[in-house]
Structure 1
């Protein structure tokens, strides 16, 4: 019993009259509330335009749209026709102002791309229904409690009333009807299920009726409310099921590619998984993949619940077709590639030789400097000796000295260089 007592709300309940008055005050849109709504719409539209979640969240926090929606739910719960009419009028007025403001903004904005923040509001599903419903429960319970805390701002963010309304304006401004319908449907989902959560909670908390309805009228109102909720709910269930199926297809397709789509001497260049059309497109580079290997791969689709999937294999540069050696085009292409490979190898060898020559020259300079400190600098490089009768490879070197060397020392240096670099002949010039 002690655990059950922890869930009771009696001790924290606000006075019913104060709660009703608070919701009454939040319903009306004029003066401050109206200007805050307009500014919140502009902020949310800017956030969607530049794809900034932080700006969109800021707009949700200052939005006053929750007021008339909770007013609709409470008005039905306590049979307050005045509150219901007032909330309904102000809800339609606020939605109209918001839609008009966002449409005007996106019509004059130079940025017309649909970023992720916009696209996220165009495909509502059953999960959005659950978010709106539980958000509405949290909102009305917090409003009815003395310990409100920061629940209301959190509910405003979770239920996200502003972004879908602004996205609907984006759809109108850019003449994209699917965006408008998807976003406006999400806005209606939030409206209906926040109001429904308010109605149910108010009845459970036993808010006093303003006018006691007779049983026939109460039954009729309940039927209308639940009919609206069901009509709003049904499409979202279909969209939710569709999302689950797409996620499942994506997961199975990725596992299939990772486990099965591996070919020897090939590597996967590109992978495209389209859950809408149930199609997997794989692009490979390397050897030509045989038809039998592709057929075998397709036969494994059923092992991953992908029997109805269309698998496409594209080959990026399968020019090494070993089975087509007698084909003239293949031979020409193969020869051209071989020639290019040889040219690249030759250039690489020459470049490597230059690097090695530079390293050798640096090392020899250090060695000769250690033996003859008077050496200031030197030049050492291979060359060609040419005259009328011969042409042969020789090395030439120019050694600059701080102090002169005698003839015996010069001969010793020359012979040492010839042995050090393994040259048949070397021409050395000593510069003082």
Structure 2
């Protein structure tokens, strides 16, 4: 009873469209001329721009626009129904579509000023067995939708999941930049998608016994089956190898991160930065702290073995050492101390000169008061110690004591001036005082 109910839920025959309608839908989607061709070229350019700008949304939009699924389903359907004329038409149209796509994408990447390979582009250069599964089940969903009465929105989803357009654009990028590893990797991914979407169409068409519209000999059928098996094997074998490499890289990355977490601080050293390179089986570690000893390196190697990283290449570097910093700090400290001492002497000299100047001003004011008491004609004094130069050398200079006396009428007589000059020389402790008079 349960099995009967389950089979009722799983039956799809009741949802199938008319066989002639299915045949017409698949046949019409094969054609690549006029509208379909222009849509394909526009989709290729949009996808190329999306890859160039690393925009996932733009790439998805291009995959929704692309009509590449049509001839692939046509090839699978024609093989399943042994319709060889239809198969040849599908192959010709598909080859033309691929050539047009490669030409458009290569032309775009030749003229664009942006040539950096971003993550969205690089993701299409390393296919694996997982891409085989995506193409197979995506293709099954696509042929089921085409055969159904309801259609729905499955076809756009299949176009996104199987991603036929981005690998072609990436292949065009590889041709434009002469990076043939990108070209072959991306074109292999495109081949996987094409083959297994087609194979899914073959399997579903034969499972539902789509009508065979021509007479075919049994020997020819067996030959077709052998060719299908050969294509599947040849296409799949490399994907197993690439899948194995992908698993190894993932395992290496996981174990390397565990190792890094366990050696972030060792013997006074602290991990400043690390780089994990699964492709080259290398881990780069940069530490700061005391100088890294051989015993520390041995500890890191031992822990790498613990995390199954037996053949990893460990590149351990000293980012900075605290001993070097201490030495540098000592040198800087000595330099700063010397500079502070020089500045202190200069400041003290400036203070002394300032004090001397203030003392001289006070002394000159006091002398003026005393001199006015003796000689009322004196109104002001100006006292200075200039330097007199008599040659080009510093030794050819002497310090002078110069006094300017301003007087008013009645002016001082010569005898009074001589007496005043002797008094000023003793009062100011300035032998050889040069006195000048300014009569008002």
TM-score class, shorter = 0.7 to 0.9
Point out the more displaced range, 214-223 or 33-42: 214-223
Distance (whole Å) between structure 2 residues aligned to residue 343 and residue 156 of structure 1 = 75
Deviation at 1:46, TM superposition (A): 1.2
Residues 341 and 310 from structure 1, CA distance in 2 versus in 1: closer, same or farther, beyond 3 angstroms? Answer: farther
Q: What TM-score comes out, normalization by structure 1 length? A: 0.76
Q: Does 1:91 align with 2:94?
A: yes
Aligned counterpart, 1:336:
331
Secondary structure at 2:273 match in 1: strand
Aligned counterpart, 2:10:
7
Match runs of 1:48-67 below 5 Å: 48-67=51-70
Match runs of 1:170-185 below 5 Å: 170-185=173-188
Deviation at 1:390, TM superposition (A): 11
Match runs of 1:219-230 below 5 Å: 219-230=222-233
- Find the partner of 1:113 among 113, 116, 121: 116
Secondary structure at 2:323 match in 1: coil
- Find the partner of 2:280 among 277, 293, 297: 277
Deviation at 1:335, TM superposition (A): 2.3
Q: Is the 8 A contact 2:267 2:296 kept in 1?
A: no
Deviation at 1:319, TM superposition (A): 4.4
Match runs of 1:284-363 below 5 Å: 284-320=287-323, 333=328, 335-339=330-334
Q: How many residues of Structure 1 are paired with residues of Structure 2 in the alignment?
A: 346
Residues 6 and 342 from structure 1, CA distance in 2 versus in 1: closer, same or farther, beyond 3 angstroms? Answer: farther
User: Could you list the runs of 5+ residues in structure 1 that have no partner in the other structure?
Assistant: 322-329, 347-383, 392-432
Q: State the Cα RMSD in Å.
A: 2.4
Q: What TM-score comes out, normalization by structure 2 length? A: 0.75
Q: Is the 8 A contact 2:259 2:304 kept in 1?
A: yes
Aligned counterpart, 1:353:
none
Q: Is the 8 A contact 2:174 2:181 kept in 1?
A: yes
Aligned counterpart, 1:35:
38
Deviation at 1:333, TM superposition (A): 3.9
Q: Does 1:162 align with 2:157?
A: no
Point out the more displaced range, 199-208 or 332-341: 332-341
Residues 154 and 332 from structure 1, CA distance in 2 versus in 1: closer, same or farther, beyond 3 angstroms? Answer: closer
Distance (whole Å) between structure 1 residues aligned to residue 266 and residue 98 of structure 2 = 57
Secondary structure at 2:265 match in 1: coil
Secondary structure at 2:288 match in 1: strand
Residues 342 and 10 from structure 1, CA distance in 2 versus in 1: closer, same or farther, beyond 3 angstroms? Answer: farther
Deviation at 1:105, TM superposition (A): 1.1
- Find the partner of 1:266 among 265, 269, 280: 269
Aligned counterpart, 2:400:
none
Q: Is the 8 A contact 1:319 1:333 kept in 2?
A: no
